[in-house]
Structure 1
Amino acid sequence: SFDLLEMYHKAMLQGKLNPYDFYLAIMHKSDNQGRSKQVYRYHKILCCMHQWRHLKAIKHGGGAHQAYPLSATTPGSFAIECSACLHPGRNLPDDWDSVRGAKEWIYTQFIAVDSNFKLKSKNHQIKDLELGSGWSYFVENAAYTRHVTSCGTKFHAVNQANSRGGGKDYTATIVVKAVCAPHCFVLPNAVGDLQRGERY
């Protein structure tokens, strides 16, 4: 039911509860002694939770009020933008791009790039359906993969595809993100993963 999914969503966000422990808690609440035969529906609940989080993200991003269908959603449109940063047409004067000299720095956006070089995401060969790829903070996976493979052999992930930490054992070993430096808001489509040896 929606109440069950809402309760899991709150428990996951507040208490970092994983789906398996939540499922076991529901099973024990139904039959704590295990006398009756339980139907194992863990994988079905995972699919429901996956779709529920996707629908909640669309709702919070204002997707229900769009004049176009969801399939035409532009990349990064569901990301929460920093309201204090520079946005032409919203909080900048009309002649901001013509300012030169000592006051030019006022209209400069400062972006900081941070990364985690110790991440290890193992490749479990799971065919996971991606919903809303590229709609918020992470880059669109298919286009990003095409870009990486089209860059020739300068990327070490292509050269070391069969080495440990390359493309065989791990799907990613580095995550890079770009944020607005003054307020630490993650920029739309500014998070991507890298393989071992790649640089940004």
Structure 2
Amino acid sequence: MSVRDERSRPAGPPVRVQGRPVDSHPALPPEAARGSVRRVTVVGEEVLSRPCRDVTEFGTPGLSALIDDMFLTMYVAEGAGLAANQVGVDLRLFVYDCPDDDGVRHLGHLLNPVVDLPAPADRRLIDDYEGCLSVPGAGMPVPRTDRATARGLDKDGNPLVIEATGYFARCLQHETDHLAGHTYLDRLSRRDRKDALRQMEANREDVFAQRATRAAALGK
């Protein structure tokens, strides 16, 4: 998921890492410092259009390396979230570094997530701008509920419950959609989908060039 244009990532407290409050956290987390940049898949590639597999092995060096690479790839692409199939790996896993509408920075990873939404009678849908790193250079308003709870596991297999509101709730819903084989384009009307694809065609090369520049600046 792309960072909202008018919103910068908070640099200091309040911060929640894996759902828990911390005093502070570096702008570039340790995971990203260890990682390598991977290619981001683009809409139309088969790995983005089929459901991902559950993670069944935890605590492995390969899983930790994947998470590190996903964090760095997300920052190079200026994202607020990134699903594993966006780097070509069909596992139910995403990483995130996303603010909510109160300015709290939420950072972490989640494996095998299930997102619970409010009951229909209590649900409030918000139309807000949504972009996607796999639809480079495009963005459209997408209706999403303003609250969500994500349940899953960390990389060591420990259970996690992440409560989210506002833009962070949107991020959790967006990334979980990816793991089911969907992008935000699937939630658009035919007309709006065509508009988003036209935006991507016009802007994608500039986006790729910007990503390459940021990767080079980080020595990656």
- TM-score (structure 2 length as normaliser): 0.25
Greater strand content? 2
Scaled by the length of structure 1, the TM-score of the pair is 0.26
The structure with more radius of gyration: 1
